[in-house]
Amino acid sequence: MGLLRTISMAVLGPLALYGLLLAHVGYRFFLETPPPLEVQEFPRGTSDKEIEAIKAARQPLLRATMDALGGKPAKDYADKFTADDVEFEDFTAKWAVRKGENGFFFKKSTTH
């Protein structure tokens, strides 16, 4: 009787946990799915000409960001779209970012 109980617990225990996890995921996915996110739009009084002007003004930044993230040299990106030096602090460390000739230099200060 001891061997049968050990085998059943070795099989039924993980199956019960898996079943609970599956039930939780199914409940969250099928019954508690949040409503779709609201899409930010331009104000109603904005003309099409103004919308196109705003989009055209943002295109160089978007293209340069995509190029920088795609592996192209980021020197022009840093010259046009970033500050010379930035210091910021999160809950783990203080960071200092400086712009150099070939991109950015990150320096991590002491942790808190």
Domain boundaries, the chain: 48-81, 82-112
- What predicted TM-score, i.e. pTM, was given to this entire model? 0.41
Across the chain, mean pLDDT equals 79
| Cα gap 57→75, rounded to integer Å | 21
Alpha helix ranges (H) inside 1-112: 2-26, 48-69, 75-81
Supply the pLDDT for residue 111.
Answer: 55
Label residue 74 by pLDDT band (50, 70, 90): low
Label residue 54 by pLDDT band (50, 70, 90): very high
Supply the pLDDT for residue 62.
Answer: 86
Supply the pLDDT for residue 110.
Answer: 59
Instruction: Give the helix, strand, coil percentages of the chain, each rounded to 5.
Output: 55, 20, 30
Contact 106, 95 (CB under 8 A): yes
Supply the pLDDT for residue 99.
Answer: 62
